[in-house]
Structure 1
Amino acid sequence: MNTLEKFISYYKPYKKMFFMDMFCALILSVIDLSFPIIVKYLLNDIYVKDTNVILKYAIIIGIFMFFMYVIRFFCQYYITSWGHIMGAKMEADMREDIFTHLQKLSFSYYDNNTTGKLMSRVVTDLFDISELAHHGPEDVFISILKIVGSFILLLNINVKITLILFAITLIMLYFSYFYNKRMRYIFKKNKAKIANVNAQLQDSFSGIRVVKSFANENIESIKFNKGNKEFLDTKEKSYHLMGRFFSMNGFFQGMLYLSVIVFGGIFISTGAIKVSDLVVYILYINIFLKPIEKLVNFTEQYQKGISGFERFLEIMNTKPDIKDKKGAVKIKDVKGKIEFKNVSFSYDNKNSILNNINMNVECGKTVAIVGPSGSGKTTFCNIIPRFYEIYEGMVTIDGIDIKNIKLKSLRRNIGVVQQDVYIFGGTIKDNIAYGNSNATEEEVINAAKKANAHEFIMELENGYDTYVGERGVKLSGGQKQRISIARVFLKNPPILILDEATSALDNESERYIQKSLEKLSQNRTTIVIAHRLSTIKNADKIVVLTQEGIKETGTHDELLLKDGVYAKLYNMQFEAV
């Protein structure tokens, strides 16, 4: 019921449309139910009279029925058009809600869920919601009206035949209920399997250059075909189930007709029923059967829609593990002093990545974090903007615990330039302006100049309006990096994090980027994760981080004199060169 209550809550903004849809459904049902009554009246009371009376009443009833079916036309139009629009609006609301909620979830959630599966939840799982939202209440409402109305009117014609039909109908409903549960399970399984197929597709397409460079198209085909076959298997099971479900219901419908013919014949022979009444009875059977058929179809529709909605709720019920604390504040005029106090962190709450870290970063100073792979350098930087939550200790900015700062306020004051740059599909201007959506074109160009990007941008065919392709595929690594730096220039944050921003670049690109980063770091508190130690010689402080914690601290010259971990790392790189 909790699932249904949440589903019903999405009707709230569209109450007027919903009630109008139900009103039109009511009118539609009344008109359909009235036709056999008119036929019964004509057969028993009018068509037995003389020609003039028949002609007169046929014209009057014809005019009445014409206006009746004009009204039915407008009701059907509203149900088909605006009813579907209401369902589409509800689907759009759900999609907006799930996207907004996914934006609130931390990196940890995305670490454990593939992009393809999440896309399947947002797009595929909600595909059947629109139809269920529209047809569900309407079909149930119309069906109940027609079944109850037909049943009452049939009782007035012949009680015995009606009770026989009612008994067969009860067996049909029990059968539908039994298969309902099995169909719900199989449809949910279908959605899980297609999510796996989507995940495999997304993974293969994103890594298509790696696939082709290793000539591993065959391996990707095998992986895809495995998921595709599993989806096909569940689809086959669902269709076998649906086949038994619909064919059995068709059999029961046949039994209803058979009962009318057999028992109708028996009662006509005994004089318990007129032939004209049996004709009307058969007309009502058609009206009686259609809503039963609709209810049967609704069963399939409901299971598809509700299984998708349950998967939708699984995400909506996932609580963000990083969120604003009650009473959290916005920070203004940030100076940029950062302090780590006894900070420990683990991704799985078992194996610590950071152990009892204590460190100060003074305002406007540049601190470099170096160390062997796996020592937690990137993790160290990721906990400052609260991309991950520490389980022990405290990180402060200007003396305020970052947990007491509103997330948006915290992250707006921190700029991050990463090694793995993400460029959005769109133009260069769009990507730079991502740092400040309110920036003018002049400000975008100025930011690009500071990042040493303006010159190469102007050489492109469409300049700042050049479309860069998915993930910036039309740009080189150095060009993408300079755009990401321009983005941060535009953001203009007081705190800057540089996560191995030049390690993947060639020497020429690195020189460009290094100049840009030096400009960007001026008058900002800067934390640099460095792979090439030659790039951080001038840092105000260098921190050597290992799996045991902070091993050494000092300037480049001080650490070389200590002849410790830093000296070994530096000499290894120097000898390699």
Structure 2
Amino acid sequence: MQHIYRILKTGRELWRSYVVIALLTTLLSVTTIIVPLLSGWAIDEIRKGASANVKYAALLALGIFLLDLTQTIISNINGYYGDQVSAKLQNILSKKYYQHLLSLPQSYFDNELSGKIINRLNRSIVQITSFIQMMSNNFLQFIFSTVLSLVIVAIYSWQVALMLFALYPIFTLMTIKSSSKWHVWQKTKNEQLDIASGRFAESISQVKVVKSFGQETHEISFFNKHMGNVLKVNKPQSSYWHKQDVRRRLILNVIFFAVYLYIFTQGAKGVFSPGQAVALILYAMNIRIPIFTISYLVENTQRAVSDSRDYFEIMSIKPEIVDALGAKKLRVGKGAITFNDVVFGYDKNRPVIKNVSFAIMPNTKVALVGESGEGKTTLTNLLLRFYEPQQGSITIDDQDINSVTQESLRQAVGVVFQEPALFSGTIRENIAYSIKNATDTQVRAAATSANAHEFIEKLEHGYDTQIGERGLKLSGGQKQRIAIARALLKDAPILILDEATSSLDSKSEAMVQEALVRLMNNRTTIIIAHRLSTIANVDLIVTLSSGSIGEIGSPKVLEKSGGIYSQLLSLQRNKSDTNEKKLEKFDIAS
């Protein structure tokens, strides 16, 4: 239950609502326990026959009516507060989860399916808040009314109170004992659901790939397999739980038989008046209902505990990359970048970057060249501080990037990814993604510089056109120009350009290349180049081989060196299937 307490503590700003719910629940419980008393008094009065006080009996009937009316009003007010607390708590937990997720290192997302992350959020928070709602609307009332009922029953008969009280530890212990096995099954179910949901989200986001390769049957089979595993676990889990519930209820029925037998026999002996006997029976029935719902409550508690454990498991992950104490904002003057003896590996025992050192002068264009997997993208990820080197340092204008804030570092770097990363929403929103208060004039100017304004204006809704998830309604060239416009609007002094490998028609290609020239102008630019024509126009080439620097120099120098760049030029001049395959190893479009 510590996880449930942590959930409530997380929503401690709702403490006023918690107090209101507790007060309303107490009032509701008091009204509930008075009804059996009034009913017992009414029966004793009625037994007097002609000598009965009719006005008194009528007042008792009116009292029961007013109590029922009060219960209706209070229970609905309490339900309203419970619903609000549940919704607000869901909002708080979701925001904290999302905020924490975005603070986690890139390595976490490298190892998790996005669908699994989303499913865990939905499952955990929905189950937790449903439990809180159930607690506020039902469970607390059960507890208060049961305690008060036992107190009143004890006034009439301590023997009956003792028998009824004995039900709770017996039933609760049996339920807890059986729930531990249930929890193991639930964990397995959650794991299988996460896998299925993760693949589901992944296949939907890449449905074009699924359809293109005709893999609909394969994806359905994968999904069905893991959902089938959920059903396989669910059957023994449900069977076990309900068998245990039968045992629990049999024991309860025996104890309640003893309670009713005692009340009836003592009433027959005259120890209890008929009214007192009826009141005791009604109190016993009031207690019986909560006890028989304990199995349901415990099951929901176990679900909430299980899912809250998943929630806090994510929340307990510490960000690997945090700003140093006293970290200052990065101040970019010229935009000089230096890699100093950098060593890095995704697996610390297998470095992919080995003692890499090179300098990039301000306002120059540098191309990283090497076979796929040699560390070109890794170097740019290190510059953005998505990862941290195990050894060495990276500086911008003589400022170690580990000593400045991550926010200021990433504000100083513009990025154009190989695959344009666009969001669902309008074209305007995507261009202005990095500038919250960008004006319409700024957005249009950036689009014009990116050669995007003309095609945008031809769309029915212009800049307010909805582009679909990941920009699916746009062509490849249009998406690239929107991404370039976004980088232009950001106007960062440093640029990382992961050149697109996808082929475009000649007109789109020319427009994209022209936009890129404008984008790179007067910026320090690192290019992961996929075209030899792009590499030929840079100021400096850095080749990578086996994670280390192969050679550094200008295109003119390296084309005569006999090294990697020279070999690539030769492969392109002497076109053949074999040479094209060799170029592909270097991610170079032939």
Give the TM-score normalised by structure 1. 0.95
Cα 1:191–1:426 shift into 2, 3 Å: same
Match of 1:379 in 2: 378
Match of 1:415 in 2: 414
Aligned to 2:202: 203
Question: d(CA) in 2 for partners of 1:548 and 1:354?
Answer: 4
Q: Is residue 2:447 matched to residue 1:448?
A: yes
Q: Aligned partner of 1:134: which letter?
A: Q
| Structure 1 match to 2:571 | 572
The alpha carbon displacement at 1:268 in A equals 4.3
C-alpha distance in structure 1 between counterparts of 2:332 and 2:555, whole Å? 31
The answer for the alignment partner of 2:304 in structure 1 is 305
Alignment match, 1:403: 402
Conserved? CA contact 2:38–2:64, under 8 Å: no
Counterpart of 2:436 in structure 1 is: 437
Q: Sort the Cα spacing of 1:443 and 1:453 in 2 relative to 1 into closer, same or farther, 3 A.
A: same
Give the match's secondary structure for 1:563: coil
Listed one character per residue, the Cα deviations across residues 241-299 of structure 1 (whole Å, up to 9, x for unaligned) are 33234433433443243223433344345554444433222111111112223433221
Aligned match of 2:10: 10
Give aligned pairs, total. 576
Tell me if structure 1 keeps the 8 A contact 2:428–2:443. yes
The runs of 5 or more residues in structure 2 that have no matched partner are 576-589
Report the alpha carbon displacement of residue 334 of structure 1 after superposing the two structures with TM.
3.5
Partner of 2:581: none
**8 Å Cα contact 2:40-2:277 kept in structure 1:** no
Distance (whole Å) between structure 2 residues aligned to residue 560 and residue 118 of structure 1: 48
Q: Structure 1 vs Structure 2: percent identity of aligned residues?
A: 34
1:213 alignment partner in structure 2? 212
Q: Greater CA deviation, 248-257 or 476-485?
A: 248-257
Tell whether the 8 Å contact from 1:460 to 1:466 is kept in structure 2 after alignment: yes
Q: Structure 1 residues 295 and 10, CA, compared in 2 at 3 Å: closer, same or farther? A: farther
CA drift of 1:506 comes to 4.7
- Asked if structure 2 preserves the Cα contact closer than 8 Å seen for 1:324 and 1:403, the reply is yes
Tell me, in whole angstroms, the C-alpha distance in 2 between the residues paired with 1:186 and 1:22: 34
Unaligned runs of 5+ in 1: none
Question: C-alpha separation between the residues in 2 aligned to 1:174 and 1:2?
Answer: 18
CA distance in 1, matches of 2:451, 2:472: 20
* Counterpart amino acid of residue 7 in structure 2: F
Q: Within 5 Å, which residues of 2 pair with 1:128-277?
A: 128-136=127-135, 139-268=138-267, 270-277=269-276
Distance in 2, Cα, partners of 1:358 & 1:202: 41
Partner of 2:525: 526
Aligned mates of 2:124, 2:167 — CA distance in 1: 36
Mean CA deviation greater in 174-183 or 27-36: 174-183
Query: Which position in structure 1 is the counterpart of 2:74?
Result: 75
Q: Retained in 2: the 8 A contact 1:139–1:295?
A: no
Q: Distance in 2 between matches of 1:333 and 1:272?
A: 92
Query: Partner of 1:536 in structure 2?
Result: 535
> 2:578 corresponds to which residue?
none
Shift of 1:136: 2.5
What amino acid does structure 2 have at the position aligned with 1:113? Answer: E
Q: Distance in 2 between matches of 1:532 and 1:199?
A: 35
Q: How big is the shift at 1:514?
A: 1.4
Determine the structure 2 residue equivalent to 1:33.
33
* Kept in 1: contact 2:113–2:199 (CA 8 A): no
Name the CA distance, whole Å, in 1 between partners of 2:117 and 2:151: 50
Question: Equivalents in 1 of 2:137, 2:208: separation in Å?
Answer: 50
CA deviations over 1:489-517 (Å, ceiling 9, x no partner): 01000000111235554544332211111
1:468/1:475 contact within 8 Å kept: yes
Partner of 1:562: 561
The CA deviation at 1:356 is 0.5
Structure 1 residues 236 and 3 mapped into 2: Cα distance closer, same or farther (>3 Å)? same
What is the alpha-carbon distance in structure 2 between the residues aligned to residue 503 and residue 276 of structure 1?
87
The one-letter code sitting in structure 2 at the alignment partner of 1:24 is L
1:416 maps to amino acid: V
Alpha-carbon distance in 2 for matches of 1:569, 1:484: 29
Give, in whole Å, the separation in 1 of the partners of 2:270 and 2:324. Answer: 81
Farther off after superposition, 274-283 or 125-134? 274-283
Could you tell me which amino acid in structure 2 is paired with residue 187 of structure 1? Q
Q: Offset at 1:137?
A: 5.5
> Quick one: distance in 1 between partners of 2:165 and 2:394?
71
Partner-residue secondary structure (3-state), 2:196: helix
Q: Deviations over 1:23-56 (max 9, x none)?
A: 1110111111111111222333x33446475211
- Alignment of structure 1 residues 319-358 onto 2, 5 Å: 319-358=318-357
Does the 8 A contact of 2:4 with 2:308 survive in 1? no
Q: CA deviation at 1:61?
A: 2.6
CA shift for structure 1 position 426: 1.2
Q: CA deviation at 1:380?
A: 1.1
Distance 2:368 2:340 in 1: 17
Quick check: 1:344–1:355 contact (8 Å CA) kept in 2? Answer: yes
Q: Which moved more, 1:472-481 or 1:66-75?
A: 66-75
Q: 1:195: how far off?
A: 1.3
Greater shift, 564-573 or 48-57, is seen at 48-57
Give matches, 1:542-553, under 5 Å: 542-553=541-552
**Matched letter for residue 104 of structure 2:** L
For the Cα contact (< 8 Å) 2:21–2:136, is it kept in 1? no
Q: Secondary structure at the match of 1:145?
A: helix
Distance 1:54 1:186, change over 3 A: farther
Residue 110 (structure 1) shift? 0.5
Alpha-carbon distance between aligned partners in 2 of 1:61 and 1:109, rounded to the nearest angstrom: 66
Residues 1:466 and 2:474 aligned together: no
Name the CA distance, whole Å, in 2 between partners of 1:440 and 1:151.
69
**Contact 1:31 1:68 (8 Å CA) reproduced:** yes
Mapped partners of 1:2, 1:286: distance in 2:
32
| Contact 1:143/1:295 (<8 A) preserved | no
1:125·1:191 contact (CA, 8 Å) conserved in 2? no
Letter in 2 for 1:8: L
In 1, Cα distance between the equivalents of 2:417 and 2:523? 17
**AA paired with 2:290?**
P
